[in-house]
Amino acid sequence: MSMFFRTLASGSKGNSAVLSRGGTHILIDAGISARRIRAGLKESGLEPEDISAIVITHDHTDHISAVPRLMNYIDAPVFAPPKTAAAILRSAPCLSGRIESMAAGDCVKSGEVTFRSFATPHDAADSVGYVFTDGIVKFSYATDTGEVTETMLEACLGADMAVIEANHDREMLLRGRYPDYLKKRILSPRGHLSNDDSGDFAALLWREGAGKLLLAHLSEENNIPALSLRCVGEKLMTAGAVPGRDVCLSCAPASMPSEVFEVEKCSV
């Protein structure tokens, strides 16, 4: 039996996704409304009570805003890095006992899926990505990171499918209307990955076996899906991979659910 993945939303205005394996369903982030998450789950054939665990990457609003309300519908543990867990509890002390602190590098088994977090460089209290496995296939999830560190690379290499950030086109960002301080933040090592950065990361992951790559957290202001796909695709071709033949390359929609991806050991 394979794992299955889809994003419910992926962008600067809100992020959430779900990974399933048999009867185990893990929600990744909850930065869109509880109503939209419930609708996305229903579209996936799931109800809130089917969720086995929620994992949180960091404490920015576009990743945690729905957690307090969502917990009215979901009776499952929420795993978050320590400072993020503390931030959630400060805003919603009623969730005491339901939020579990999970430091970078910790490993947890939930049903048929084991997941481990790894540190990511981002301007948050603490920020992590996750790798998931059912013992057969490996899935990695890494968004909101200013650069690809050795820690990230070590964690994600060998993934059969990877979700990676392709937040902005550098020239669009520099020419755009954002104030200088925000441009500097995005371009910093604790900001967000550009299309070029994402392409380099994608090529490394493909060389180590990733058959599916999903570009996520695209800026609606400073990127275009077609541009991101072209840039990352060119980097993959330079590495020897032809998108559509050697690797499945896609972009996650910003504000609606993506298609459902099967996480499998595969070749396109």
CA distances from 265 to 30, 92, 162 (A): 28, 41, 12
CATH fourth-level superfamily of 3-263: Ribonuclease Z/Hydroxyacylglutathione hydrolase-like (3.60.15.10)
Eight-state DSSP code of residue 245: T
Residue found under tokens 């994003």: 7
Cα separation, 192 vs 58, whole angstroms = 14
SS3 of 20, please?
Answer: strand
pLDDT digits 0-9 by tens, 91-127: 899 999 999 999 999 999 999 999 999 999 999 989 9
Cα separation, 73 vs 109, whole angstroms = 22
pLDDT digits 0-9 by tens, 153-184: 999 999 999 999 999 999 999 999 999 999 99
Cα separation, 6 vs 262, whole angstroms = 9
Cα separation, 154 vs 201, whole angstroms = 12
In contact, 9 and 254? CB cutoff 8 Å:
yes
pLDDT digits 0-9 by tens, 244-267: 999 999 999 999 999 999 999 865
Percent of the chain with pLDDT over 90: 96
Whether the full predicted model's pTM is greater than 0.85, yes or no, is yes
Q: Which pLDDT does position 1 carry in this prediction? A: 72
In contact, 105 and 112? CB cutoff 8 Å:
no
Which residues are registered as beta bridge partners of 3? 263
Cα separation, 66 vs 63, whole angstroms = 8
Residue 237: which residues within 8 A CB-CB, separation 6 or more?
243
Answer yes or no: is pLDDT of 64 > 90: yes
Residue found under tokens 């301080």: 181
